[in-house]
Amino acid sequence: MTTDGATVPLGVDSRRLVAYLAVHPRPQERTSLAADLWPGVPTDAAVRLLADAATAVDVPELFADEDESGPLALAADVEVDLADALGLVRAMPDIPTNHDPDISLLSADILPGWTAPWIAVERERFRQLRLHALEERSLRLTSAARYAEAVAIAKSAVQTAPSRESARRVLIEAYLGQGDIAAAVAEFDDYQELLRSSVGGPASTGLEALFPPSPVWPVLRARRTMPRSAVQLPGLRSVRGATPSTRRLVAGGSVPGPSQR
């Protein structure tokens, strides 16, 4: 967390409280909030822990309401990167394909390493939203013949979720639009190999239908069945992925959740 350009140190309980309010922007009733942050702790004790955590946050006007018994929420002028990322997800369909928005906010999960149940639910929800937004953006760029950009965005989705078929599909479509059949075939085979290793046998995904009839296809597939060498020559497998006064909360980090304390 930063305020006026400076990092503000917070204790573990205070960090958990601020992170919870950043992820849940609506005002939170204190009893249920305390139960989420300190599961298994008696209600009265959890509410006291919550009050202590809020008091220990030495940032004036961080909370919307300083009433010690009222609901807790962050003040309206506190910026949260997760809120910015969700705004980008909502705006993505309306961004023209000749514009290049900064999608770095969609490149990572929120609060990686935290294991509390309340963050696991929100992390997966955001993960699905950002992956869908990246896939849709890649498809639109492919349709607009901006293949390099489409490939880059699709690769970021694949790197986030290697077993997600829709991400592999848009990457293959971008490669095929670019005319890079070899890269498309390599991506298809990598996905098939991943499925075989995870489910224990060959899997039919329907991705084969993306490849038009071509004499190139069986030749490339035949080459892929040869034993792999431990020596990789350069380039042959390059298709494999790879303001000061404003308060700002960054919903990422390595602070442990409750189970890691």
Which range (18-32, 46-60, 217-231) has the least confidence? 217-231
Contact 236, 65 (CB under 8 A): no
Q: What is the pLDDT of residue 213?
A: 63
Top-confidence residue, 86 or 211? 86
Here the tokens at position 194 are 């991943």
Q: What is the pLDDT of residue 59?
A: 86
Share of the chain above pLDDT 70, in %: 77
This model's pTM is above 0.85? no
Query: What DSSP assignment string belongs to 186-244?
Result: HHHHHHHHHHHHHHSS----SGGGGSPS-THHHHHHHHHTSPPPS---TTTTTTS---T
Rounded Cα–Cα distance for residues 64 and 77 (Å) = 9
* Residue at token pair 């990322």: 85
Q: What is the pLDDT of residue 173?
A: 95
Rounded Cα–Cα distance for residues 148 and 154 (Å) = 10
Could you read off the pLDDT of 25-45 as tens digits, one per residue? 999 999 999 999 999 999 999
Could you read off the pLDDT of 71-110 as tens digits, one per residue? 999 999 999 999 999 999 999 999 999 999 999 999 889 9
